[in-house]
Amino acid sequence: MEKIIEKFDVPYLQILDENGNCDEKLKPSISLEMIKKIYSLLILTRIFDEKALSLQRQGRIGTFPPIKGEEACQIASAILMENGDMAFPAFREHGVYITRDLPIEMLFQYWGGDERGMKIPEKVSVFTVSIPVGTHILHATGMAMGFKFQKKKNITLTYFGEGATSEGDFHEAMNFAGEFKVPVIFICQNNQYAISTPVREQTASQTVAQKAIAYGFPGIRVDGNDIFAVYKATQLAIQRARAGKGPTLIECFTYRLGDHTTSDDAKKYRGDVELKEWEKKDPIIRFEKYLTSKKILNQKEIASEKNKATKKIEESVKRYEKIQPENSEEIFKYTYASMTEELNEQLEQFKKEVI
Amino acid sequence: MQLNIIEAINLALKQEMRKDKSVILIGEDIGEDGGVFRVTDGLAKIYGNERVIDSPLSESGIIGTSIGMALTGLKPVAEIQFEGFIFPAIDQLINHASRIRNRSRGRFNCHLVVRCPIGGGIKALEHHSDSPESYFIHTPGLKVVIPSSPYEAKGLLISAIRDPDPVIFFEPKKIYRAIKEEVPEEEYTIPLGKAKIVHEGSDLTMISYGSAIKTCKEIVETASESIELIDLRTLSPLDTDTIIASVKKTGKVVIVHEAQKTLGFGAEIIARINEKAFFSLQAPIERVTGYDIIVPLPKSEQYYHINKSRIINAVKKVMSNAI
């Protein structure tokens, strides 16, 4: 006997096209207030990014991974989190931190090389930056397992790139999530490059979204530069998760408009034509077209929004640069809950030798 | 009650789970099957499969999700089936579990125990007879414990479960069932980071841990020399004071461990003695360790392992070298 025993579809969602045209039939239920809030966060994040790059060039912060182009994926999803939920970012998720209201000077502080920038305030429900690619995805699944076993209604979100989907921990996290049917939402920002490696050299899968099917839960590809598509897919995924229906994988198809980090030069591996093409698809440009055509905001209000954001960022830079260096002894103190005898001894020696 | 190590650990887990609802277990085959060594036998029946979680076959998954569960306030005790299979999870342990407290300047911590059998002597397959403790001891932020008997296993495991930092709890499988001793029914703790003087002596200090303690004990109890035997119990953090006090008294040292010699834990002990008690030494320190080879399969495994005669020879050598 020979027959097809399974067949699958991979859905794609775009609501706001690159010219700002909105498919009203598909538009999510979203308040005007929320639309404006998302716009403010997009602008704030973009200006933060520009400022961080300029601070890095001046040696005022260290190596920095720019977010430009990927703001919609992060802001339109993280905005939907509720109290007690938790996001697990990789390292380019400045938009998630800003959306969840981490004081912006703490981002400068962390990227300026000070661990205290990741002493996340209690009210900010985002975990620390995770540098090793893909490893944090398991923490999101694990926390969702914890929520489920403790009968809590909370969910977790985790952000990673398409490069991370080649890592074993991505597989293990997806597999555990499917098997235990836990409330986690996997948000893959497919920006098409893992440093220099294009997605076509990363995997033979046509989409990242379809990988979810193998783990027994839905996957969807959305236009990652489309606020409404990201918002709607996340909204549905969160509803599913809170209803005990398990995880969802959302592939946000996007493009990294900047370099991988300030130590990278993307011109070495990708052409100008491609970059120009994607600059036209910028999530902010199309959203502004939409906002003005729908008369939600006028040019004056947009300009004032940008001024407000610039001022906010400048103030946070001032606060950042006023932060006193950490007492050098602190580098010993968080290795364990309490100092071991050996560490106390090394600290005493350190005080004699270094301070 | 007379218990072996497996029964003592089972009792410790059962009592800690009863006492603290946030203690949960996760691992491969630990539920209905009770684990391949039956350490968790019966616990799923008492506490259900949401507290005794049979996981997919996925070591990085077990540790990575345990880290996430710990962030909700749970206290996972994860089982890795054999030490040779802990390596897929070493990334999670070294890059995350050990660093979360430091990285967040104390905002988050990782309240986690990883239980894992260790060592050879049970005629097992490749990857089932290794002693990889040094990799973990070398990692700041992790604690490493290796008990040497049922009484020690229960008290140390309870301390590990209550410790707010990640603890790797290696269980010497050679003595899982080989020692039966009196273990109190009620809960008790043995503090982490404190060594134990198993046998007092004045001629020579013998330092060891884990399954080798049983062999060492048999030697020191019948030796003509007066040997002080120290069971380190916790390798990280190390109880340097107990070692140094003993070395200052005896001036002669033999270190015994099953792990390979190069960068084995003996090297660290010698370095600390060098720093703190060099002028008390009367003879060069001897190490009795595994050789720097892959642990052979069962037909030749015995050639790798430490044995009584190697230890006795080392004692004689140090005694005769003493100035």
**A139 exposed, middle or buried (CB, 10 Å; 0-12, 13-18, 19+)?**
buried
Identify the DSSP state of A283.
Answer: H
Condensed to tens digits (0 to 9), the pLDDT of residues A104-136 reads 999 999 999 999 999 999 999 999 999 999 999
Interface size, chain A vs chain B, as Cβ–Cβ contacts under 8 Å: 143
Q: What would the 3-class secondary structure string for A38-77 be?
A: HHHHHHHHHHHHHHHHHHHHCCCCCCCCCCCCCHHHHHHH
Q: Which of A171, A184, A178 is nearest to A144 (CA)?
A: A184
> Which residue bears the tokens 């096209």?
A17
pLDDT at A341 over 80: yes
User: By the 8 A CB rule, do B293 and B305 touch?
Assistant: no
Q: Which residues of B touch A156 (CB under 8 A)?
A: 68
Residue A134 within a domain: yes
B202-B206-B207-B210 Cα dihedral, nearest 10 degrees: -120
Residue B300's CB: how many other CB atoms inside 10 A?
A: 10
pLDDT 10s digits, A168-197: 999 999 999 999 999 999 999 999 999 999
A107 touches chain B (CB under 8 A): no
Query: Which structural domain, as residue segments, surrounds residue A351?
Result: 327-355
Q: B254 and B113 share a domain?
A: no
Report if residue B189 sits inside a domain: no
User: Does residue A3 belong to any structural domain of this protein?
Assistant: no
Average pLDDT, chain B: 98
Alpha helices in chain B, H assignment, sequence order: 5-19, 43-47, 59-70, 90-92, 100-103, 133-137, 150-162, 212-222, 240-250, 265-277, 298-304, 308-321
Low-confidence ranges of chain B (pLDDT < 70): none
Domain count within chain A: 2
Mutate to test the interface with A, among B17, B51, B58 (most CBs of A within 10 A): B58
Residue B224 lies in a domain: yes
Same domain, B26 and B172: yes
Select which of B96, B127, B128, B138 is catalytic: B128
Q: In the numeric block, which tokens belong to residue A17?
A: 């096209």
Mean predicted lDDT score pLDDT of chain A: 97
Least Cα distance to A237 among A80, A88, A73, A87 occurs for: A80
Do A348 and A293 share a structural domain? Answer: no
The reply to whether A98 and A208 lie within a common domain is: yes
**Is there a single domain that holds both residue A69 and residue A200?**
yes
Same domain, B202 and B271: yes
Residue A351 placed within a domain = yes
pLDDT tens column, A262-321: 999 999 999 999 999 999 999 999 999 999 999 999 999 999 999 999 999 999 999 999
Residue B315 to residue B320: CA distance in whole angstroms: 9
Do A338 and A240 lie in a common domain?
A: no
Q: Is residue B191 part of a domain?
A: no
Give the residue from A54, A145, A134 showing the smallest Cα distance to A89: A134
What does the alpha-carbon distance between residue B145 and residue A93 come to, in Å, rounded to a whole number? 37
What pLDDT was estimated at residue A354? 82
On whether both A220 and A346 belong to a single domain, the answer is no
Q: Is residue A5 part of a domain?
A: no
**How many domains are contained in chain B?**
2
Q: Is the pLDDT of residue A355 over 70?
A: no
Same domain? A111 vs A189: yes
Contact A145 B65 (CB under 8 A): yes
> Is residue A299 located within the same domain as residue A339?
no
User: Sorting pLDDT into bands at 50, 70 and 90, what band is A51?
Assistant: very high
Model pTM greater than 0.90? yes
Write out the DSSP string of B29-89: T-STT--TT-TTTTHHHHH-TTTEEEPPS-HHHHHHHHHHHHTTT-EEEEE-S-GGG-GGG
Q: Retrieve residue A117's tokens.
A: 């920038």
Residues from chain A contacting residue B74 (CB–CB below 8 Å):
146, 149-150
Task: Concatenate the DSSP letters of all residues of A198-262 into one string.
Answer: EGGGT-S-S-STTHHHHHTS-EEEEETT-HHHHHHHHHHHHHHHHTT---EEEEEE----S-SST
Same domain, A301 and A333: no
Residue A180 lies in a domain: yes
> Which residues of chain A lie closer than 8 angstroms to B69, CB-CB?
142-143, 145-146, 149
A7 belongs to a structural domain: no
What are all long-range contacts of B98-101, with beta carbons under 8 Å and residues at least 24 apart?
B98/B139, B98/B140, B98/B141, B98/B142, B98/B166, B99/B141, B100/A128, B100/B67, B101/A334, B101/A335, B101/A336, B101/A337, B101/B141, B101/B165
Rounded to a whole number of angstroms, the distance from the CA of B85 to the nearest CA of chain A is 15
Distance CA B253, CA B263 (A): 18
Closest CA to A84 of A149, A146, A155, A143: A155
Two tokens at A79? Answer: 């905005």
Are the CB atoms for B273 and B243 separated by under 8 Å? yes
How near does any CA of chain B get to the CA of A180, in Å?
Answer: 9
Query: Is residue B23 situated within a structural domain?
Result: yes
- Residue B181's φ and ψ, nearest 5 degrees, are -150, 170
> CA B7 to CA A287: how far, in whole Å?
64
Are A251 and A340 members of one domain?
A: no
- Three-state secondary structure string covering B93-113: HHHHHCCHHHHCCCCCCCCCE
CATH number, residue B301: 3.40.50.920
Option in B68, B100, B238 nearest A142 (CB): B68
Are B78 and B111 spatial neighbours (Cβ–Cβ below 8 Å)? no
Task: Tell whether B218 and B172 lie within a shared domain.
Answer: no
- The per-residue pLDDT for range B130-184, each reduced to its tens digit, is 999 999 999 999 999 999 999 999 999 999 999 999 999 999 999 999 999 999 9
ipTM for the assembly? 0.97
What per-residue confidence (pLDDT) applies to A46? 98
Are residues B123 and B210 both part of a single domain?
no
Chain A residues with CB-CB distance to B96 below 8 A: 130, 132, 135-136, 139
| CATH label of the domain that carries residue B121 | 3.40.50.970
Query: Does a structural domain hold residue A1?
Result: no
**Beta-carbon contacts of residue B60 (< 8 Å; ≥ 6 apart):** A138, A168, A169, A172, B88, B89, B91, B92
> Same domain, yes or no, for B219 and B161?
no
- Backbone conformation region of residue A32, classed left if phi is above 0, alpha if psi is from -120 to 50, else beta: alpha
Q: Mean per-residue pLDDT for A57-81?
A: 98
Domain region containing B242: 196-321
Task: Kindly state the helix (H) or strand (E) to which residue A306 belongs, with its residue range.
Answer: helix A299-322
Is B137 within 8 Å of A342 (Cβ atoms)?
A: no
Q: Is the pLDDT of residue A206 over 80?
A: yes
pLDDT of residue A47: 98
Residue A117 domain flag: yes
Q: CB distance from A147 to chain B under 8 Å?
A: yes
Do B15 and B74 belong to one domain?
A: yes
Whether the ω angle into residue B237 lies within 30 degrees of 0, i.e. cis, is yes
Please provide residue B39's backbone torsions phi and psi, each rounded to the nearest 5 degrees: -65, -35
Judgement on whether residues B28 and B80 belong to the same structural domain of the protein: yes
Residue A198: both structure tokens together: 């294009």
Q: Is B119 left (phi over 0), alpha (psi -120 to 50) or beta?
A: left
> What distance in Å separates the CA atoms of residue B290 and residue B296, rounded to the nearest whole number?
11
Q: Which residues of B touch A341 (CB under 8 A)?
A: 193, 237, 239-241
